[in-house]
Amino acid sequence: MSIETFNALPLAEYRKKFWPHNTTFTHTRKDVSGTYSLSLESSSTLSNHDFRACFNLIAITSSGDYEGSSLGWSAAKKWKEMRLPDLRYIVLKQEKDDKGRDGISEVEGFLSFMLTYEDGYEVIYCYEIHLSPQLQGTGLGKMLMAMMKEVGKKARVEKAMLTVFKANKAAMRFYERLGYEEDEYSPRPRKLRGGVVKEPDYMILSKPLAGESRSLKRKSGLVKKRKAR
């Protein structure tokens, strides 16, 4: 099946093909214990409440990195990007006795990804991964990344990719521990007039999904560059 065919699947079929996970689990680590639920959603099936919660997590955890970069922070642009039709969301919620507004369990983290083409390669691209501050460093981020990788392997794409701000040292270390390295298409330093060298403030990282990937298919006209997350 092609990338386009995968992305055109109804969500129920997409889940059946890529999502064999239990919807609830218990997690205990570093003084954080609780029962959590996971769901796989699309940008169109994510409820308005959960969509806004995901957006707020980005604003809380990453807007500062955007503001300090050459890209700047635009809430409107990020909101629009999050609605891209081929995006899928792994949504993490903590099950509580005292649920939030209207009895709804609140989003505590999420990972968004897309099966797509990058510089002619078939890849799975991590657009966002965010956890509420109290869940950072508990192993849940690693779990979300492993689930995304599993989708990529089942789709038999060449590699997993993501973009990270160089200033976000914690994120850089996290991805490196998971085996991600600077991609061959990551932007390089540019020499400006006067000999000044300008270093890009973000990197593209990737991890081969070797052994289970389909043969490379170079596709002209499908080259896209991702902005930093």
Which pLDDT does position 128 carry in this prediction?
Answer: 97
Which of 82, 37, 40, 92 lies closest to 58 in space, CA to CA?
A: 82
Give the domains, in start order, of the chain with CATH numbers. 3-164 (3.40.630.30)
Per-residue pLDDT, 43: 96
What's residue 29's pLDDT? 66
Length of the chain: 229
Whether 221 has a pLDDT exceeding 60, the answer reads no
Q: Are strands 190-191 and 197-198 parallel, antiparallel or unpaired?
A: antiparallel
Phi, psi (deg, nearest 5) at residue 99? -70, 165
pLDDT digits (tens, 9 = 90+) for 121-141: 999 999 999 999 889 988 999
pLDDT band at 115 (very low <50, low <70, confident <90, very high): very high
Query: β-strands 159-165, 121-131: how paired?
Result: parallel
